[in-house]
Structure 1
Amino acid sequence: MIKNISNYKLLTPKQNHFIDRKIEKLGKLRCVMENAGRAVYSEVLKHYKPCKTTVLCGPGNNGGDGYVAARLLAKEGWPVRVLTYGSPKLGSLAHSMKLEWTGALGTLSDSEIQKDELIIDALFGSGLNRELPNDLKFLLGNLKRVISIDIPSGVNGLTGEIKNFALQAELTITFTTAKPGHYLYPGKAHIGQLKIKDIGIDFDLINKIKVKFYLNHPSLWNLTGQTFDDYKYKRGIVSIVGSKYTTGAARLSALAAKNSGAGLVTLFPFGQYALYANFSPCFMIDHNNFDEVLNDNRRNTWVCGPGLSSFEFLESFPKLFSFGKNIVADAGAFERNNSDILKGVSVITPHKGEFERVFGKLGADKVADVRKAATKIQSVIVLKGPDTLIVSPEGKVVINHHASPRLATAGSGDLLSGIIATLIASGMNFWESACAGVWIHGEAASLCEHNWPDAEMIAQQLGKARDNAYKLYQNEKK
């Protein structure tokens, strides 16, 4: 792992509050708040021409940032007014910043706000964990152009949850690091363009915090590249259990394993040998007894689940497990209330419906629910979706935003299983293999020239996608 990964850490609202208290004790909070307001001011000048602007200021430090931004815009000649919602605590820094504002000042009860050309939202920030008051919901429901400071008011900075209403920003400006709620749905849909600005907080302070949320990026994993001494067994063997009935899923997993760098791909089918054999000359098809196959110690990494019926999964999975194989489980692995059988599996890759079938309904804090499940089965869980989560049994969470709507096609999940298995077979640990596999999967979809690709087209881009990931990893090491 790259030593300096601060750019990919996601601090929680509580951790940000802890940093604010530390900065305040050091006597540097005023400087940091001035820097935050100036960062907002600078971004406004970059993206907008002077126009009638209203800054909405809440009672906390988020409001303090808003007062600074309003003051600087007014000095620049912009027509600015400030509307407040709640009063800053007497003696607080936010209160001082309010006193330094000498322009138009009112309270947020003005329906005319709907006509303003630009709104700067400095109401609540990422620490809000309650519903917005109904009067705000009425006043702020149809604003035209909104810039949010830290996070759109109404979005939970930890979970991305929206309890009853959230502002829809076209630009969100946050500071030092992003928060999980910037990348978790439904909150992510309210962020607009996200800008992360340095406001002078010492990264040594951040590096002392025990961070468990990260944004997925090649900096987080030790991805291997090609070397002159490679050979097929060094690159690893990926073996896949194939269904007698739904053969396409296993074949797509095999195609993904081949294209993402496996040294050898083998298929153990429950039937349809000719169909599997004719799919590609690059794959070996097993005709031996399953126990004989499992006794081959070179074949330690298996994909089990894509296309399998419940019977086929239960025929193969327990044997793979009893032989101590590394298993990536998907699709047919996810039967109702069968979490006990999955205990100790290397990686599972359910989508939301499959996860809920096994572990129960996801709540508003889906990260907490997936953490609980990963701890229960002591496995890495990849919860697939528009904000795919990769969660370790120890509670570490990576959020993936390097993806594409092009992945919304049948078979793309089967590809992911094959990619992750390939990385495990090459020697990467389960956690890093899952993170890297998800990123490469998204990169391959992004590389497709076809606007509406199928899974096979996406698979064709996996080699280039892995090369791109390796280049990024190498660049970060320099």
Structure 2
Amino acid sequence: METPVSLRQIMTVAEMKAADAAATAAGTPATTLMERAGKGAAEAIRQRWSRRSVVIWCGPGDNGGDGYVVARHLRRRGWPVRVEALAPPASPSCRWAAERWRGEVHPLNPAVSPADLHVDALFGAGLSRPLDGPAEELARAAEGLSACIVAIDTPSGVHGDTGQSLGGAAFRAALTVTFHRRKPAHVLAHGRAACGAVEVVDIGLSDTGAGDLVENDPSLWGARFPWPSDDAHKHARGRLVVVSGEAWSTGAARLSARAGLRIGAGVVTLLSPPGALAVNAAHLEAVMLAPFDTDAELAALADRAAAAVIGPAAGVGEATARNLTALAGTGAALVVDADALTSFAHAPDELFARLDRDDVLTPHPGEFERLFPGLLKASPERIAAAREAARRAGTIVLLKGPDTVIAAPDGRTAVNLNGSPWLATAGSGDVLAGFIAGLAAQGMESFDAACAGAWIHAECASLHGPGLIAEDLPGLAPVVLKRLWDQRNHPLP
């Protein structure tokens, strides 16, 4: 299942420019790259739609040059094509492409010329200022037409590195055709909403940079997934402990424990305050149960555990902070969630001092703000914020959301592309914590465990769809795991 990291790399605008420059320096003319890009975009359009009328909006730079090439290849296939230019070609490659377009070039119609399909080749990802003039008027006039718009590279007006609007108007597309690799705008939630479906066209570039920002899918971690050996037994598959809250707050921890068991941990124990033993016992079957009254007793019970979850409905306050400190001394890989995060909101550095590099913090944006005040607001996008948080904390940070970002202190960062709106339900984060800890208990490196847990979590939600509640998620994991197992043993040719 393993594929080269380059196939999953997400490249910034600057990295893509460097890859283009490296290709031209190595002898590939810029016009050859443009021809490949425009031809590939035309093919992507033809694969999705039958022949129909199309208007192509061309800007003065290389994005506009791609548009002229798209126009030429679509017309060759018999499509009725109208080209509208915002301005005369300004870059050498755009002039080259425009000269090879034998049809008429009309001024840009800011009121949207009628057609069955429109192609936005105005600016792409390189734009660093808000749209203005006729381009802004056109973007506003095109609101509501996203179902029949194709964007080349990124919708004009959307920042390539953040996915955010540059201010004012921005285009929205049903399909975005980009080249070589996805950019952050194609994977972050705001950008994904503007881009629609994303098609990546190979134009023969090589990757540049460290390649430490990648898409999160099984090709990233599948080869290291902790499948049991033929002679496995429960103790060999890892011990996981989960800390329960008091009697009136026990369900969240049970969700985590059940998730850890479903994901493959061999022995899962719910560590319960004495007052919550009866209610927990009434709801547990394969998950074991043990009482603790003090943080020292908690540490003793967790001493042989490979991983631990603390936070789901654990209670905010000094007791949870002491319990986390006790678990940190055991050497178990910690998944720190919910109340355990908020218990250190007054002193985040005290939490970070207790953590190791193989621990995982799993905040939603509100909890992230409590631990890293102002970081999400100061950062231009979630990727940079998660990376900086992991650096400060010295541990793995999983920033939850429709575009969940997983960052390690060494800079490795992955972005989930399979996020599901059905996960917006109480308790789903508790299940995620259990999935991650269950994988870590089986010996999976914690960054991989966080990535795999997040991807499987989202796949489970997509399998169920509407009506999902958190209790459904652990029971859906076996279906996703079976698919992974089958792909491992019977890979596609």
TM-score normalized by structure 2? Answer: 0.90
Query: Counterparts in 2 of 1:127-276, with a 5 A limit?
Result: 127-143=126-142, 144=145, 145-164=148-167, 165-199=169-203, 201-202=204-205, 205-206=206-207, 209-221=209-221, 222-244=224-246, 245-270=248-273, 271-276=275-280
Instruction: Name the SS for the 1:461 alignment partner.
Output: helix
The amino acid across from 2:101 in the alignment is W
1:350 matched to 2:363? The reply is: yes
Q: What is the aligned partner in structure 1 of residue 14 from structure 2?
A: 14
Residues 12 and 373 from structure 1, CA distance in 2 versus in 1: closer, same or farther, beyond 3 angstroms? Answer: same
Structure 2 distance, partners of 1:300, 1:4, is: 30
1:405 matched to 2:408? The reply is: no
Query: Counterparts in 2 of 1:57-72, with a 5 A limit?
Result: 57-72=58-73
Q: What is the aligned partner in structure 2 of residue 281 from structure 1?
A: 285
**Pairwise CA distance, 1:469:** 3.1
Moved more, 280-289 or 186-195: 280-289
Which whole-Å deviations, capped at 9, do the CAs of 1:261-290 have from their partners, x for residues lacking one?
111111112231111112112122222554
Instruction: Name the SS for the 1:156 alignment partner.
Output: coil
The amino acid across from 1:339 in the alignment is P
Residues 409 and 319 from structure 1, CA distance in 2 versus in 1: closer, same or farther, beyond 3 angstroms? Answer: same
Q: What is the aligned partner in structure 2 of residue 77 from structure 1?
A: 78
RMSD: 2.1
Residues 378 and 310 from structure 1, CA distance in 2 versus in 1: closer, same or farther, beyond 3 angstroms? Answer: same
**Pairwise CA distance, 1:474:** 5.6
Which whole-Å deviations, capped at 9, do the CAs of 1:401-446 have from their partners, x for residues lacking one?
2232221111110000011001111011110010011011112222
Q: What is the aligned partner in structure 2 of residue 467 from structure 1?
A: 482
Structure 2 distance, partners of 1:140, 1:299, is: 57
**Equivalent residues of 2:255, 2:471 under 8 A apart:** yes
Which blocks of at least 5 consecutive residues in structure 2 are unaligned?
none
**Pairwise CA distance, 1:454:** 1.2
Structure 2 distance, partners of 1:114, 1:107, is: 11
Moved more, 388-397 or 43-52: 43-52
Structure 1 distance, partners of 2:489, 2:347, is: 41
**Equivalent residues of 2:38, 2:66 under 8 A apart:** yes
Instruction: Name the SS for the 1:162 alignment partner.
Output: coil
**Equivalent residues of 1:440, 1:469 under 8 A apart:** no
Moved more, 94-103 or 369-378: 94-103
Instruction: Name the SS for the 1:140 alignment partner.
Output: helix
Residues 355 and 476 from structure 1, CA distance in 2 versus in 1: closer, same or farther, beyond 3 angstroms? Answer: farther
Query: Counterparts in 2 of 1:97-112, with a 5 A limit?
Result: 97-108=97-108, 110-112=109-111
Q: What is the aligned partner in structure 1 of residue 350 from structure 2?
A: 341
Of 288, 296, 309, 1:303 maps to: 309
Q: What is the aligned partner in structure 2 of residue 371 from structure 1?
A: 387
**Pairwise CA distance, 1:366:** 2.0
The amino acid across from 2:334 in the alignment is I
Which blocks of at least 5 consecutive residues in structure 1 are unaligned?
none
Moved more, 175-184 or 235-244: 175-184
Instruction: Name the SS for the 1:399 alignment partner.
Output: strand
**Equivalent residues of 1:223, 1:470 under 8 A apart:** no
Instruction: Name the SS for the 1:310 alignment partner.
Output: coil
**Pairwise CA distance, 1:292:** 4.2
The amino acid across from 2:289 in the alignment is I
**Equivalent residues of 2:151, 2:177 under 8 A apart:** yes
Structure 2 distance, partners of 1:241, 1:76, is: 64
1:438 matched to 2:451? The reply is: no
The amino acid across from 1:331 in the alignment is A
The amino acid across from 1:333 in the alignment is A
Moved more, 24-33 or 343-352: 24-33
**Pairwise CA distance, 1:132:** 1.6
**Equivalent residues of 1:2, 1:476 under 8 A apart:** no
**Equivalent residues of 2:404, 2:416 under 8 A apart:** yes
Q: What is the aligned partner in structure 2 of residue 24 from structure 1?
A: 24
TM-score normalized by structure 1? Answer: 0.93
**Pairwise CA distance, 1:88:** 3.4
**Equivalent residues of 1:114, 1:142 under 8 A apart:** no
**Equivalent residues of 1:219, 1:476 under 8 A apart:** no
Structure 2 distance, partners of 1:440, 1:83, is: 45
